[in-house]
């Protein structure tokens, strides 16, 4: 590595480290103040709060990495610009593209790191952080022996949708369960309501059950079927419920792809397919913001540093806005899942490449 490259990399890495640390602390501080009422009301202990943010840390990193990377590259190139070092480099025959190579390379590394964390760490830590928040912080419980997940929603086999008010992990119990079984044409043919369900002898056993048969118009056919106890062949085991309880963050892309392969004729397939492709596309935002922010920060006109920072921040806001719209269109079935997840990345990468070529 040339001396110039080492100089550029060292300055950017230091700035990136400081920026990520600042935004992580800022995120935690804001979240802490948002939850302050519940923390005080439930007298949550300090060790519980520290544990919660320890397990939430990987998810926070995924969220702040793009903003931290953008601010770091703006700050680093802004300093070089203000001290006229960029002018000196260009006067010495160093091209704009060569100056940007170290930043683009680090942007790719940060993106792959974010993807690796999203795939390996977040699915495990998200389960624990969610349990701590819902059980110890929001409900004021003293331990996680009755760790629970609220508002469970599962797309199961045989065209079934399973809803439950709560799933207690230790006792493997679902409470206030509703199961809708659909026809291939997506109309509901039966509805099961149960007070609770336990996982016993490798099967789900429902208690205090009422089963309704419905016609294609949704009207009840015949009399309801009342049962004290009823066993159903449901492929999802307790561990599967923890991962799939309407919490996409509990699964990595491989697990979500396997889950989707078992779904047939479900309305959730489109929405979950968009989530699957987003898990892969979103970590690369850190690289995209460097493509756009770096050439804007290298402008040498008077006052261009503040203009570049302002323009870049506007671009990032536009990115998140357009990305949210694309995801909504994808989940609504108006765009293919792959297009919905990657369209914004491709669009803004094109803008970034145009800006780099223009400054070259």
What is the distance between the alpha carbons of residues 224 and 212, in angstroms, rounded to a whole number?
5
Question: How confident is the model over 272-297, as a mean pLDDT?
Answer: 88
Any idea what DSSP says for residue 135?
I
What is the distance between the alpha carbons of residues 180 and 202, in angstroms, rounded to a whole number?
22
pLDDT, residue 147, reads 64
pTM reported for the whole predicted model: 0.74
Sign of CA dihedral 311, 326, 354, 110: positive
Q: Is 44 helix (H, G, I), strand (E, B) or coil?
A: coil
End-to-end Cα distance, the chain? 22
Give the position of tokens 């159903």: 232
Any idea what DSSP says for residue 250?
G
Quick check: 155 and 246 in contact, CB under 8 A?
A: no
Percentage with pLDDT > 70 across the chain:
87
Per residue in 53-99, pLDDT tens? 999 999 999 999 998 998 888 888 888 888 888 888 888 888 878 88
How far lies 23's CA from each of 57, 70, 264, 349, in Å? 12, 12, 42, 24
Per residue in 334-347, pLDDT tens? 899 999 999 999 99
Give the position of tokens 């679902």: 174
Say how many CA atoms lie within 13 Å of 61 toward its Cβ: 21
Most confident of 33-42, 88-97, 201-210, 266-275: 201-210
Give the position of tokens 């943010």: 53
Beta bridge pairs of residue 150: 166
Quick check: 288 and 345 in contact, CB under 8 A?
A: yes
Most confident of 65-74, 217-226, 233-242, 303-312: 65-74
Q: Where are the domains of the chain?
A: 3-127+277-359, 158-234
Q: How confident is the model at residue 333 (pLDDT cuts 50, 70, 90)?
A: confident
Q: Please state, rounded to an integer, the average pLDDT across all residues of the chain.
A: 83
Per residue in 136-167, pLDDT tens? 777 656 555 556 677 777 777 667 888 888 88
What is the distance between the alpha carbons of residues 178 and 192, in angstroms, rounded to a whole number?
6
pLDDT, residue 246, reads 46
Strand 148-156 with 220-232, pairing: unpaired
pLDDT, residue 236, reads 78
């Amino acid at each position: 590595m040339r001396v110039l490259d080492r100089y550029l990399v060292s300055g950017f890495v230091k700035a990136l480290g400081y920026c990520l640390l600042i935004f992580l602390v800022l995120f935690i501080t804001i979240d802490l103040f948002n939850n302050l009422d519940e923390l005080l009301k439930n007298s949550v202990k300090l060790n519980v709060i520290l544990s919660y943010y320890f397990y939430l840390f990987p998810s926070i990193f995924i969220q702040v990495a793009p903003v931290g990377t953008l601010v770091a590259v703006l700050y680093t190139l802004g300093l070089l610009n203000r001290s006229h070092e960029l002018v000196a480099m260009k006067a010495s025959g160093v091209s704009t593209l060569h100056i940007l190579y170290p930043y683009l390379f680090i942007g790719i590394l940060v993106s792959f790191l974010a993807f690796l964390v999203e795939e390996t760490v977040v699915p495990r830590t998200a389960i624990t952080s969610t349990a701590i928040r819902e059980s110890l912080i929001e409900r004021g419980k003293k331990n996680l022996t009755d760790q629970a997940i609220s508002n469970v929603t599962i797309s199961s086999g045989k065209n079934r949708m399973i809803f439950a008010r709560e799933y207690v992990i230790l006792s493997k119990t679902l409470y206030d369960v509703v199961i809708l079984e659909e026809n291939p044409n997506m109309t509901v043919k039966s509805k099961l309501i149960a007070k609770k369900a336990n996982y016993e002898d490798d099967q789900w056993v429902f208690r205090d059950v009422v089963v309704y048969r419905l016609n294609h118009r949704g009207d009840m056919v015949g009399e309801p079927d009342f049962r004290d106890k009823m066993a159903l062949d449901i492929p999802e085991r307790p561990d599967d419920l923890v991962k799939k309880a309407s919490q996409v963050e509990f699964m990595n892309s491989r697990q979500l792809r396997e889950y989707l392969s078992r779904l047939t004729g479900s309305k959730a397939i489109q929405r979950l397919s968009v989530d699957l492709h987003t898990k892969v596309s979103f970590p690369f935002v850190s690289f995209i913001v460097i493509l756009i922010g770096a050439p804007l920060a290298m402008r040498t006109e008077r006052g261009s540093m503040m203009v570049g920072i302002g323009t870049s921040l506007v671009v990032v806001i536009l990115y998140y806005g357009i990305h949210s719209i694309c995801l909504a269109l994808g989940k609504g079935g108006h765009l293919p899942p792959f297009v919905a997840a990657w369209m914004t990345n491709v669009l803004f990468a094109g803008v970034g490449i145009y800006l780099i070529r223009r400054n070259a």
